[in-house]
Amino acid sequence: MEYAITITPQAERQVKDTTSIPFGQQPTEHMFIAEYKDGEWHNSRIVPFTNLSMSPFALCLHYGQTVFEGMKAFLMNDGRVNIFRMDKHYDRFTKSLERMCMPVVPKGLFNEAMHQLIQLDSNWIPNDEHGSLYVRPFMIASEDRLGVKISDEYLFMIVCTPAYQYYAKPLKVKVEDKYARAADGGTGFAKCGGNYGGAYYPTKLAKEQGYDQVIWTDSKTHEMIEESGTMNLMFFIDNTLLTPPLSGTILDGITRDSLLTLAKEMGIATDVRPIAHKEIQAALEAGKRVEAFGAGTAAVIAPIETIAIGGKEYNCYTGEDATMYKLQKALYNVRKGMATDTHNWNYII
């Protein structure tokens, strides 16, 4: 099926120095928008980036029906543009929408909208080692009605912004042993707004104590490691890459999946299993070389230099020869077309 997307071109803005602009503040010229009403998608279009006009009664403003994705497009070494792992992002977006009782975007419409929008604004993709175009598809409930109900109307949109390193330096984190990000049976696996809003307060407390992020633990015992801030969490100990298994409380990270796949191809042992924070503490106290890092679309790989467990701080290894940097380089090479894409991860425009 072909999807008709009308395009209203906008003259290119003369914004040259995007490296000094904080992440997420500089939109590109255009955005995609489609409307869902009467059980169908209507009025698919690419228009100049502008503010929305919505009723204060719009259900998304009151009852939490908001879902989003985070993707990236890269300028490859041969000048072509690559949208990385678009299919897996679509699948995760769909799972989030279904969990939040929101209509699924047809895959053809999703792909075509991505292709047209990123092709139109491809001049915004930074051509440097850490540069990319961050792409944010999202959906909100737009029906103008106060009342706790599943909305009958929605807006599906895509916006973009140039992006560089999300974290400029290694992180200090603390194991959270009081608050929880998600619980079994909840929405922890979905990328919905409420998951992030609920995480702000304990993260704020951690920052007041001098930490950048928290390591979330399970809601029942606070013993098992889950995620860290906006990222999946991974460790490299005893020549093995460790990470917790996916569950109803852990997001199915695309970067996490990519790194596990590349690690196996590079001959690096991987172990996906439940990990207690006491196990990490024991390894650190035994003097083992422990690498800890976050993995996510925005951050890619975020080294962790300090972990606080039970009020005591431990130093992790962040030297230049760390395995996490080798994994980061391998992922970079695939995205930039410098290594063979054996998994068909790259969608080339």
Could you tell me if residue 341 is inside a domain?
no
Q: Is 335 in contact with 326 (CB distance < 8 Å)?
A: no
Q: Let me know whether 182 and 239 are in one domain.
A: yes
**Same-domain check for residues 144 and 180:** no
Instruction: Specify the number of domains making up the chain.
Output: 2
CA atoms within 13 A on the CB side of 292: 30
> Distance between CA 295 and CA 191 in Å, rounded?
16
Q: Which residue has the tokens 């990490």?
A: 280
Residue-number span of the structural domain to which 280 is assigned:
171-335
Structure tokens given for 193: 């707004």
CA–CA distance, 283 with 127 (Å, rounded to integer)? 40
Q: What token pair was written down for 176?
A: 């959270």
At 237 the pLDDT is 98
The angle at the Cα of 78, spanning 122 to 325, to the nearest 5 degrees, equals 90
Give the whole-angstrom CA distance, residue 151 versus residue 60.
9
Q: What are phi and psi of 54, to 5 degrees?
A: -135, 155
342 belongs to a structural domain: no
Can you tell me the distance from the alpha carbon of 236 to that of 241, in angstroms, rounded to the nearest whole number?
5
Domain closes at, from 164, 194, 227 = 164
Chain centre distance of CA 102: 20
pLDDT of res. 273: 98
pTM of the model: 0.95
* φ, ψ of residue 91 in degrees (nearest 5): -60, -40
Closest CA to 218 of 247, 238, 239, 243: 247
Predicted pLDDT of residue 129: 81
Q: Which two tokens stand for residue 175?
A: 């194991």
The conformation of residue 333, written as its DSSP 8-state character, comes to H
pLDDT in tens, 127-136: 888 899 999 9
- The pLDDT assigned to 2 comes to 63
Distance, in Å, from the CA atom of 34 to the CA atom of 312, rounded to the nearest integer, reads 50
Gap between the Cα atoms of 94 and 105, Å rounded: 7
pLDDT in tens, 134-165: 999 999 999 999 999 999 999 999 999 999 88
Handedness of CA 159, 164, 165, 168 (dihedral sign): negative
- pLDDT category at 17 given cuts 50, 70, 90 is confident
Q: Which of 103, 131, 164 is the last residue of a domain?
A: 164
- Is residue 1 assigned to a domain? no
Across the range 275-301, mean pLDDT stands at 96
State the Cα–Cα distance between residues 172 and 235, nearest whole angstrom: 15
- Output the average pLDDT for the chain: 95
Question: What proportion of the chain, given as a percentage, has pLDDT over 70?
Answer: 99
235/183 same-domain check: yes
pLDDT score at 47 = 96
Q: Is residue 274 scored above 90 in pLDDT?
A: yes
* Position 348 in a domain: no
Average pLDDT over residues 92-106: 98
Q: What is the mean pLDDT of residues 27-40?
A: 96
| Pairing of β 40-48 and β 30-37 | antiparallel
Confidence of residue 117 (pLDDT cuts 50, 70, 90): very high
Alpha-carbon span 177 to 294, nearest angstrom: 19
Last residue of a domain, one of 164, 199, 219: 164
